[in-house]
Amino acid sequence: MFYIYIILALVVCILLYRNTRYIELFSGKRPLVVGFDNTWGGFNIEHNMFLLILQHYSKRDVIGVDINKESKVDAGMFLFGEPSDRLKKLGVPIIQFSGEAHTKVSPLAQLSLGFDHTISDTYLRFPLWLLYINWFNTDPFLSGNPSVIPLDRCITAYREELPKKKFCIFIVSNGGQKARNDAFDWLSSYKKVDSAGQHKNNMGDVLPKGSGGFELAKFKLLQDYKFSLTYENLVQNGYTTEKILHAKAAGCIPIYWGDPLVEEDFDINGCIDARDIKTRDELIRVVRNVDTNDHIYRQKYMTPLLDKERIQKAYEHMKEFTKRVMKLVKID
C-alpha cells in the first residue's frame, strides 16, 4: 500500500509540474511560458537550450509549449521561415531565431537572433554553435536536436587521447560548396580522407540518417582522427556553425574555412587556417607541416577553442538574450 501512495504522489507531481498556477504558488514567481513555432526536426519544445538559458538567468521556471496547441504564452519563438498566423494573432512578443546565413529579419519580430555581429534594439548576435554546448550540465539526451556536448571538451585538451589512429575525416551532406569539395579532393591526393556524411561517402552508414540530432554519434566518430575538414557552407562575417566546435572538442585539429571573423568566437591557433588557401599544393603543404611535425601538431592539439575571455563572451550573449526576453514579456 505504501508503494501505491508513492506512485500516486509522483503522478500528482508530474501533473502539477506544468501547471503555472501551482508553480507560482510554490516558487513565489510566475513561470515564463515560451511558445515555439516552425521548429526544426527533432527539436524538443519542452527541453532545449533556449529554455535552459532563460531559466538560468531569470531565476524562474521556464516552460516550453507548442504554439499550435497552447494559447496562454508570454512570448512566441519561431525558428524557421515566418511565424504562423496563430502566433501572429496571440498578441505576445515574437522572437525570431535563425541558424542560417542571409536570413531575412522578419518585421513581425520584436527580437531577432542570428549570426550577424550587428547589435541593435531588435537584433542580437546569437550564433548557432551556442546551442551545441552543455552550458548548464543537463542531460545531453533530453535536448533532442541538437544534442549537446560537454563544456569541458571545449575548454580542455585531453593529452591521454593521443595518439590519433586515423588521418582525416569529412562529414558533409550538402555537396554544393565547391571550395569544400575541392579541399576533400586535394587532401585525398595526399592521404586517404574518410567521408562519413551523405556527400562523397566512402565509409557506408556509420552515422545515423536524418536531418540532425546525431551529434553524439558524430562526436564519437571524430575522436579517432587527427584532422577534420570543417568548411562552412559559405563565407559570411559571423557565420560560424558547430562544425569547427565538434571537431576540436572531439580532439581533431579542424582544417577551417569560412567565417572571416571566426577569431571573435574561437581560438584559431588550435586549428589549421585554410581561409586564404586557393590551391591543392597550398593545402597539402600546410596540412603536411602539422601532420609530420609532432611538436606543431601537439601544440595545436593542446590549444582549446574556448579560453576564459571567449567563455565569458558566450555567457554574456546568453545573459543579454535573457535580459531582452524578460524586458519584452514584462512579467514580475
Per-residue pLDDT tens digits for 139-149: 887 878 888 99
Is residue 271 domain-shared with residue 322, that is, in the same domain? Answer: no
104, part of any domain: yes
Does a structural domain hold residue 8? no
Does residue 221 share a domain with residue 299? yes
The model's pLDDT over 273-308, given as tens digits with 9 standing for 90+, comes to: 999 999 999 999 999 999 999 999 999 999 999 999
Residues 112 and 167 in one domain: no
In a domain? residue 1: no
174 and 113: one domain?
Answer: no
Q: Do 162 and 30 share a structural domain? A: no
Rounded to whole angstroms, the Cα distance separating 60 from 321 reads 15
271, 300 Cβ separation under 8 angstroms: yes
How far is C-alpha 250 from the chain's CA centre?
15
Extended strands (E) in 62-192: 62-66, 75-78, 94-97, 111-114, 123-125, 133-134, 149-150, 166-170
Q: Is 127 in the same domain as 220?
A: no
Reduced to 3 states (helix: H, G, I; strand: E, B; else coil), residue 96 is: strand
On whether the CB atoms of residues 298 and 163 are closer than 8 A, the answer is: no
Q: Which residue has the cell 527580437?
A: 111
- Is 151 a domain residue? no
Residues 77 and 186 in one domain: no
Do residues 124 and 186 both lie within one domain?
A: no
193 lies in which domain range? 157-303
- Which stretches of the chain score pLDDT less than 50? 3, 5, 8-12, 14-18, 20-27
Residue 152, domain member (yes or no) = no
Grid cell of 223 as nine digits: 575522436
Which tens digits make up the pLDDT trace of 186-232?
999 999 999 998 999 999 988 887 655 577 888 899 999 999 999 99
Q: How far apart are the first and last CA of the chain?
A: 43
Q: Is 177 domain-assigned?
A: yes
- Would you tell me how many other CB atoms lie within 10 Å of the CB of residue 38? 18
- Residues 127 and 110 sit within 8 Å (Cβ to Cβ): no
Q: Is residue 3 part of a domain?
A: no
| 317 and 288 within one domain | no
Cβ proximity of 169 and 183 under 8 Å: no
88 plus 106 within the same structural domain? yes
User: What total of structural domains would you count in the chain?
Assistant: 2
In a domain, residue 162? The reply is: yes
Q: What is the pLDDT of residue 286?
A: 98
Return the CATH number at 248.
3.40.50.11660
- The CATH number of the domain holding residue 116 is 3.40.50.11650
Burial 205-224 (b: 16+ CB within 10 A, else e): eebeeeebbbbeebbebbeb
Same domain, 172 and 122: no
Residue/partner pairs of 320-326 with CB below 8 Å, 24 or more apart: 320/124, 321/53, 321/54, 321/113, 321/124, 321/126, 322/53, 322/54, 322/56, 322/57, 322/58, 323/57, 324/111, 324/124, 325/32, 325/54, 325/58, 325/75, 325/93, 325/95, 325/111, 326/32, 326/58
- Please tell me the predicted confidence (pLDDT) of residue 25: 44
Helix (H), strand (E) counts: the chain:
11, 13
- For 201, the grid coordinates are 561517402
Do 124 and 175 sit in the same domain of this protein?
A: no
Cα distances from 290 to residues 154, 188, 193, 283, 326, in angstroms, run 21, 16, 16, 11, 48
Q: What is the pLDDT of residue 210?
A: 60
Helix (H, G, I), strand (E, B) or coil at 290: helix
pTM: 0.87
Answer for the pair 238, 261: CB distance below 8 angstroms, yes or no: yes
- The distance of Cα 131 from the centroid of its chain, to the nearest Å, equals 3
